[in-house]
Amino acid sequence: MRKHYIDNIRWMIQVLVVIYHLFYIYGAKHYPGTLGMITSTPFIPGEIYQYSVFPWFMVALFIVAGISSKLYLDNHTSKEFIKSRTTRLLVPSTIGLLVFGWVQGYINMQLSGADMDTSTVPAPILYLIRCLSGTGVLWFLQVLWVLSLILIPIRALEKGRLRKLGGKTNIIVLIALALPVWGAAQILNTPMIVVYRFGLYGIAFFLGYFIFSHDEIIDKLKRFWWLFTALGVASVVTFVVLHFGEEYPDAPVNRTWSFCFCSYFMSVAVLALGAKFLDFRNGFTAWMGKRSFGLYVFHYLGISAVALFIASKGILPAWLIYIISTVSGFGGALLINEIFSRIPFIRWAVLGIKKNRKKEAANVQG
């Protein structure tokens, strides 16, 4: 039976990601590829929102991805799993970059001022630079593909023993798992590009596969949803109070105990709340579920395009810019997804969609 709460958690977090980038691109911290403030003073609600969701929403997606991997492997071979993940994850984040990523790369370089003097750069080299600069949100697909590859030999070696042990996890251990998550966040972090955190996201993915994919564990989360929700909210408040105004995406903040506890407890709270209240399907949730991948892949293009071509002119008021950016982020992503999903080569290269994808998705959750 399909676990509808997994689908609902996935698309709902994608919505949170879009809203996050809406505030991020106009935030007080002027990160590369962003425009910076469009208000005279920092927009405090938007700033608080960034600090409140950044530590946990991608961790939650990796846990969900681990659960989905188990569900897929229940009905497919390891070879089919790798083939599917390569098409769905690696192709869009590599070939898709060459086909369409240069558009986002151009906008990112313009916003960061890196595209000011390119007259001496050969066109093919400039094209590749722009493609790489357009990686953006596709880092998630790249990291998830690597973790999917690693899962297969681990799965072959443990022969179900580790997963069986994971099914016996009690509430005390579920709470204590915040400690190894904190430890994992200290390792396998790439320098400079801070989103490639194989330690933190790796443990989230494998916790999803070995522990949270058990119905027995989910039943425990449903019974104690109030406990994990309280822990999650408390961890968010603690992180915001301790680190508001600091460089939250980067070290040392993103390796602190408060960041990691927030990452874990809010992710588990989302699972508990999702299993308790979101295990249903209707026309709207089904529609959003089918388009969540495209929403994730394309949303930043619309938001950043508005930032570059409209907001940077300083003509329109900030409140109107936020409205236009919201419409462009959601509407633009959904429109591009609808168009690209109907073009055979483009849908494969940019969205990882094969001809039999719809039939497969209807039968198997993964």
Q: Determine how many CB atoms are found less than 10 A away from the CB of residue 196.
A: 15
189 SS3 class: strand
197 SS3 class: strand
Indicate the pTM of the whole model.
0.95
Cβ–Cβ under 8 Å, residues 151 and 69: yes
**Rounded Cα distance, 38 and 269, in Å:** 34
Cβ–Cβ under 8 Å, residues 121 and 129: yes
**What residue numbers bound the domain in which 158 lies?**
4-363
Domain count, the chain: 1
Is the bond preceding 252 in cis, omega lying within 30 degrees of 0?
yes
Would you give per-residue pLDDT tens digits along the chain (366 residues)?
Answer: 789 999 999 999 999 999 999 999 999 988 888 999 999 999 999 999 999 999 999 999 999 999 999 999 999 999 999 999 999 999 999 999 999 999 999 999 999 876 556 667 888 998 999 999 999 999 999 999 999 999 999 999 999 999 999 999 999 999 999 999 999 999 999 988 889 999 999 999 999 999 999 999 999 999 999 999 999 999 999 999 999 999 999 999 999 999 999 999 999 999 999 999 999 999 999 999 999 999 999 999 999 999 999 999 999 999 999 999 999 999 999 999 999 999 999 999 999 998 755 554 444 566
